[in-house]
Chains A and B, each alone.
Chain A
Amino acid sequence: MTPMVKAEGVHKSFGAVQVLKGIDLEVAPREVFCLIGPSGSGKSTFLRCINHLEKINSGRLSVDGELVGYRQKGDKLYELRDREVAEKRRDIGMVFQRFNLFPHMTALENVIEAPVQVKKETKAVARERALKLLDRVGLADKAGNYPSQLSGGQQQRVAIARALAMEPKLMLFDEPTSALDPELVGDVLDVMRGLAEDGMTMIVVTHEMGFAREVGDSVVFMDDGVVVESGNPRDVLTNPQHERTKSFLSKVL
């Protein structure tokens, strides 16, 4: 089975600063893959490389068997055009720490925007699915609200619905609950748990160790641009082998 995401020796630097120093990992289809690690370790950067919001400097990164951002012919790599990159991004949903909903659109308009503009669906079709998605994230009654009229937790759930509206095969979550008040975290995690149960492939950068343990199929601990330790969440989180993992976990748990 082709892995949904495969990274081999992925390097990324910003100017002289090396942020990713050779990442190797594999995410299987239907897997819930949790990324943990201290601030600045490169988790967000890696996630952004997966949908080519950042270009990698070396190594290979592929999604569903296809290289991210490049096409290979023989042993030569050709950079993809913006249009082709955009096309591939349709299949990858992304949820941001700060939600990034479009503030000038209502919740419903946020959700139908990409299906109508990118997939050229008719408004009626997109609307119908959007309402179902909003219902699924528990916000059927907020369809007409602007983001500024929603709580953080509600905004994040709309953001999840917006990503799902493109019917992605992979969902990337970048600390989806970090900007939320503690009492709002649960609702968002519940939605994500539901997605996992439905078999969505998910890569989740998170500080919610409880979520990683219960929902995660595997967990990777990243530090300073490298994968330090990976495996089954129960093993890694309860019985870490490396010093760095131990000291990180002792701080967050």
Chain B
Amino acid sequence: MTTKIDKVGPVDSPPPAPENLKAIPVRHYGRWVSAVIAIALLVTLVLAFARGDVDWNAIPEYFFDSEVLRGVRNTVWITILSMALGVALGIILAVMRLSKNPVTSSIAWGYIWFFRGTPVYVQLLVWFNLGLVFNYINLGPIYKDEWSDFMTPFLAALLGLGLNEAAYMAEICRAGLQAVDEGQTEASHALGMSHAKTLRRVVLPQAMRVIVPPTGNEFINMLKTTSLVIAVQYWDLLQATTNVGQSTGATAEMLFLAAAWYLILTSVLSVGQYYLERYYARGSSRSLPMTPLQKIRVNLLSGSNRQGGASA
């Protein structure tokens, strides 16, 4: 075919290439001013600390001190155990709270009411001082001991923190369980799955997506709350640094050291939470966003192929 139909208009000429616009961008003077003020304040703060009577060398010197490390280990340990207790009991309480049985759901309600309604510091002290009320612990043939031998600082810390946490975890878990569509339970029952199987295989994994983010926050909070166990004489990070501070005279420095350790630990937990959330988000969106590590890898790999296309 050689006859071409004449098209009307400038169809044959290629559309004009978009020219790069030349315009003077809006100047944000306010941003500059506020940045300068902020930096000035920061410098003042740093200078104040630098000129202050701080023995900065004491911090690296005692950073890996064996007593301090023992404190770090104990803090991590009591955090993990209290959270484990809190999560396990929290799930049970949440299921109780949602059960049709009015007795179990009221008991769960009462528990949550009590433990959320009193300060955790008071609860720790109560556990530690229960020896004033009970002389013995007597579980019949299973266990019998003097209370003061039974209620060690460790156990007081674990019960104080864990039982308190359970009340908060119960509410988090309840919200998670309730967020799962009823159709899921129905479909599972229709397939012949029991209540327990339905909960474990269908409902809980989906509730996790709602439960995990606030639980991560709880974990980080717990790590910081453990500093209260100094009240029950448990040898945690704060107790250790305080002790070192008293014996060396570097009280403030050791508090800085403790703060640095807490920061490191909470940062590690935040990274862990990121990956955990990712894991439980599977299936909820069409594709998971890349992790920072994956992004770096992709960027490094594709960097060599991208030299030419440096466009905005």
Contact = CB atoms under 8 A, between A and B. Distances in A.
Contact of B191 (A83, A106, A114, A149): A114
A114 B192 contact: yes
- Size bracket of the A interface: 20 to 34
A149 B286 contact: yes
Given A53-B186, A117-B201, A146-B282, A104 B206 contact: yes
B184 A90 contact: no
B125 interface: no
A94 B190 contact: yes
A83 B192 CA distance: 9
Contacts of B201: 113, 117
Interface stretch (A28-36, A95-103, A132-140, A226-234): A95-103
Interface residues of B, number: 23
A92 B174 CA distance: 31
With most chain A CB atoms within 10 A of its CB, the pick from B181, B188, B285 is: B188
B191 A148 contact: no
B191 A103 contact: no
A93 B191 CA distance: 7
B193 A86 contact: yes
Contact of B192 (A87, A105, A106): A87
Contact of B194 (A82, A88, A159): A82
B283 A104 contact: yes
A117 B191 CA distance: 10
A130 interface: no
6 contacts: A83-B194, A92-B190, A96-B183, A102-B187, A118-B193, A159-B187
Interface of A: 51, 53, 82-83, 86-90, 92-94, 96, 98, 100-106, 113-114, 117-118, 146-149, 159, 162-163, 166
Given A86-B192, A100-B183, 10 more contacts: A83-B194, A86-B193, A89-B190, A89-B192, A93-B190, A94-B190, A100-B187, A102-B188, A102-B202, A118-B192
